[in-house]
Structure 1
Amino acid sequence: MANTAGIGMSAFAQLLSVPILLGAWGAEKYGIWIMLTTIPMYFALTDLGFVQVATSEMTMKVAKGERDAALGVFQSTTALIASICAAAVALLIGIAAAVAAMGYVTVTQNMQLIVLLCFFSAFTLLSRLPLGALRATGHYALGTLVYDFLVLLEGLAALLTAHAGGDFSAVALCLLGMRTVNMAVLNMLLSRQVTWLRYGLAQARIREIRRLFKPAIAGMVIPVALATSLHGAVLVVGAIVSPAAVAVYSAVRTCSRLMIQVVGVVNRATMPEVAKAFASSENRSLGAILSMNGLLIGAVLLPGTLLFAAFGKEFVELWSRGSLSPSRTFVSLMALATLVHGAWYFLSNMLLATNSHVSLAKYILGASAITLLLAVVLGGSIGLNGAAIAVISGELLCLAATTVAFLSRYREGGWRRRPRHDSADRKY
């Protein structure tokens, strides 16, 4: 139910964003905004997958009653992420300044915006730490509701700023201020709900970071794949087609992925439960969770994407008040991409929940690179439809790789069997 509320709040903000920003800035400026705000998307990759891996690890430690070990994971990850954020902000600002000095007008004109977005990205990354800690310690619903509500307020404040006449920098400054509030509230909530899980360096260990390094790097591949096939395609469309085409692509992509959000209501909520069942060798619970997620794909995602393929064009036109009119072919292609994505992303989350995803890394990364190359080639020749075909190709490769990795892990005993006990143990 917490995820349902979160999905509803996210969908509400997304549905409002297109007509409000189009009305405030027009299609071309809106397309430029979408391109510039890919900075936070790529910045999110700088945690190298440690936040998700640490959350899964803490969940399994807490399930076993190992609080000191969970605290060590939390403090070690916090120290690493804070250091990475500081270095990444300095690096990105330095690169932007160098590019501006080379005479790129777009970068020069938007330097202030880029700096604000860099800091916003860093704060967004840091805010995931208390959220992950709440989810790992049995407060998934509370943490999710508070976080998603604060993100909704953040988005509404930004839209109100744009509607009132604010430019890109004003909207970015608003986002940064609201994210600061988000972090403060989440950390206060964590300190009250989980008194033993505290910030500091006393339990931080280099060896803990080294131990988590391999699954963290592998876990980073999934957001890299998403960023390449989705947000990378935004940059390709903007560079090869036009900024106005970015507005069409972004709107259709947002609508097409609403069904992913619906399935994610259960899928994301089951991740800590998968970790707990895995740590406790509860195979029956694991089987039930897998069956439930599979049923949702067949009963919700499949019919949802079919409906979008049939009526998505009209919905986007109505949503944008006639400003955007995608072709029916493009809408259908994006619907197919969503269906394939939902299937492999569900399986990858099951692996990610137990840090059993290392073998996926090279295959998902290769699929991402192929997607971007195809987007450049096909986008230049057949426009938006070409970009959509590129995304579908990448999603199919990801599906194949994830299916093989999941089945291999299952057959090799990756999901632990419940150990045999003697009669005394069973009686006890």
Structure 2
Amino acid sequence: MWGKELYGEWLLLSAIPSFIELANGGISKVACVDMIKATARKDSKRFQQIVQTTCTLILLITFPVAMLLLVASATPIDSYLPFSSIDPFEVRVITFTFVANFILMQLSQIYDGMYQSFLSFARLVVLSNIERLATAVVVIIFVLRGATPIGVALTMTIMQFLFLLARSYDIHNVAEPWARSVMGFGIRHRSHELVRSLFRPAISYGLLPLCNAIRGGGILWIIGYALNPAAVALFSALRTLANSGGMLLSVVTQSISPELTVAVTSENHDLARLIFRKALQVVVVSSIFFAIGLFCAGGWIFALWTNRELQFDNQVFTLLLCVVIAKNFWSSALVVATSSNRHTRDTVFVLLGHLVALSGALVLVPLIGLPGAAISLLVCDIVISVFVIRRALILLEESSWNFLASFSPSSLIQLFSFIKQSSTTANHPVPQDHQL
């Protein structure tokens, strides 16, 4: 199995896809919103143009970035990072493999947009979870059998390719009849007009991958520069454990995006406000419960997970739990803007907040160690939450008082009653003769 040094160096290299995504922008995600609109109108020509224009842009943008990365990887990495376990040749091979993995991932996102367009998000979630679980199991087995970082990178790319094929086959089971003949990838039916209409929202949405790269890879690189790869491994493991609940809750915000898109574009603000309130209530309350549970059992889980190879840091872990709660606020509220492609102001502010967090980490990590990185992220997420929620309320024409009232004890009790009633109805469906 890998030691702390090798694992820390692998984490630094595995941040490469998040930086490649910066050049791609938010093409796939923004195209999904237009795809949902085209599906609502049953516009097969527009649907085909969206799919093939997105494919064209992904290939055109990713190829030169891939070449630049491969050239950059030829530079001796030990000139700017203290790598000792992965040699320069392995760095180049892993970089090339991650580029291929990224292209496959972007093509998969087009299929993800199709699932959402056909309101089959539950099926998409099941398939995505199977993909993550299968990939994790295969990678773990390979690592236990002595796989090198190159072997792991190749395995991840092969699994991505296999599940891309699975999506291409399965999507025909949920697609509406009019769309089945226009879902194929290609470049023949690309639209220059569509490129222009997608450009601005795609560029602004592309700031979100930059933010993810900053809070993910950027913070880790600062820790690696200021401290050492072992500290990178510790912080990454603590953050992964703290984020475990947040990963599950992200399904809630992703699942409401198609419904919000239809509600907002049709100016049905009452429905949009209801969807937003309920989703945010579920996310926030669940985040707090997850945080309490992990605070109590986190040390035990961490020791079991890492086989006590890493020393659990309770202070950093507690701060990271607070970071998760704060981030869930703004990431859930941001879906209001992204579901209608009116997110430019939000994403610019989110980027500025993350740049400030990165600057704060650059100052604090050398002074106080890992807590400095967690504190920088926490302050960043609190400020961003205030701004993004305020913007969401403006877009939904919702008053701040009504929004705050949705988190009153009586409103939360109604939420629990609604969830309980929904669960009871699901387990004991109403007979057909008694349905209204």
1:186 aligns with 2:167: yes
**Kept in 2: contact 1:64–1:280 (CA 8 A):** no
Equivalent positions of 1:185-204 (< 5 A) are 185-191=166-172, 193-194=174-175, 195-196=180-181, 197-204=183-190
Task: Name the structure 2 match of 1:11.
Answer: none
The alpha-carbon deviation at position 326 of structure 1 amounts to 2.5
Unaligned runs of 5+ in 2: 400-436
1:284 offset after TM fit, Å? 3.4
- Identity in percent: 21
Q: Indicate yes or no: 2:26 matched with 1:54.
A: no
The 1:295–1:379 alpha-carbon spacing in structure 2 relative to 1, beyond 3 Å, is: same
Letter matched to residue 259 of structure 1: G
Q: Which residue identity does 2:68 align to in structure 1?
A: L
Deviates more, 1:113-122 or 1:78-87: 113-122
State the secondary structure of the residue aligned to 1:386. Answer: helix
Partner residue of 1:158 out of 139, 153, 161: 139
How many Å separate the matches in 2 of 1:203 and 1:119?
24
Corresponding residue for 1:410? 396
Q: Deviations over 1:23-74 (max 9, x none)?
A: x101221111111111122223332101111101111221133332222222
In structure 2, the residue matched to 1:108 is 88
1:16 aligned residue: none
Letter of the 1:274 partner, please give it: L
Determine if contact 2:18/2:210 at 8 Å carries over to the other structure: no
Structure 1 distance, partners of 2:382, 2:68, is 34
Which residue of structure 2 aligns with residue 119 of structure 1? 100
Is 1:65 aligned to residue 34 of structure 2?
no
Distance 1:49 1:133, change over 3 A: same
Q: Which aligned segments of 4 or more residues in structure 1 are displaced greater than 6 angstroms?
A: 101-105
Q: Does 1:359 align with 2:339?
A: no
1:336 is displaced (CA, Å) by 0.8
Q: CA deviation at 1:125?
A: 2.1
Contact 1:343-1:399 within 8 A present in 2 as well: yes
Matched-pair contact (CA < 8 Å) for 1:131–1:147:
no
CA distance in 1, matches of 2:300, 2:345: 42
Could you state the TM-score of these two structures normalised by the residue count of structure 1? 0.85
Tell me by how many angstroms 1:379 deviates.
0.7
SS in 1 for 2:3: helix
**Residues 313 and 325 of structure 1 are in contact (CA less than 8 Å); yes or no, is this contact kept in structure 2?**
no
Corresponding residue of 1:378: 364
2:2 alignment partner, SS class: helix
Contact 1:93 1:118 in 2 (8 A): no
- For structure 1, which segment, 34-43 or 190-199, has the greater mean C-alpha deviation from structure 2 after superposition? 190-199
Which residue number corresponds to residue 419 of structure 2?
A: none
Query: Counterparts of 1:5-404 in structure 2 under 5 Å?
Result: 24-99=1-76, 106=83, 108-109=88-89, 110-191=91-172, 193-194=174-175, 195-196=180-181, 197-404=183-390
* CA-to-aligned-CA distance 1:118-160 (integer Å, 9 cap, x gap): 2222222222222222222333232332233133222222221
1:419 corresponds in structure 2 to none
Q: Deviations over 1:293-337 (max 9, x none)?
A: 122134211222233334423331232121222322111111111
Cα deviations across residues 333-388 of structure 1 (Å, max 9, x unaligned)? 11111110000000012211121212213211111111111111111111100111
Q: 1:59 to 1:38 in 2, by over 3 A?
A: same
Please say which of residues 189-198 and 361-370 is displaced more in the overlay.
189-198
Contact 1:313 1:331 in 2 (8 A): no
Deviations 1:191-241 (A, max 9, x none): 564313232334311221111111111112222222212321111112211
How does the TM-score come out when normalised to structure 2?
Answer: 0.83
Residue pair 1:116, 1:173 contacting (<8 A) in 2 also: yes
CA distance in 2, matches of 1:164, 1:360: 46
- Give unpaired runs (5+ residues) of structure 1: 1-23, 414-428
Partner secondary structure for residue 317 of structure 1: helix
Q: Is residue 230–residue 391 contact of structure 1 (8 Å, CA) maintained in 2? A: no
Letter in 2 for 1:204: R
Distance in 1 separating the partners of 2:386 and 2:284? 18
| 1:181 Cα deviation from its structure 2 partner | 1.1
**What is the number of residues matched between the two proteins?**
390
Shift of the 253–219 alpha-carbon distance from structure 1 to 2, 3 Å rule, reads same
Indicate the SS of the match to 1:40: helix
Coordinate RMSD, CA, aligned: 2.3
* Matching residue's letter, 2:40: A
Question: Does structure 2 retain, via aligned residues, the 8 Å contact 1:229–1:394?
Answer: no
Residues 90 and 298 from structure 1, CA distance in 2 versus in 1: closer, same or farther, beyond 3 angstroms? closer
User: For 1:63 and 1:369, how far apart are their aligned partners in 2?
Assistant: 38
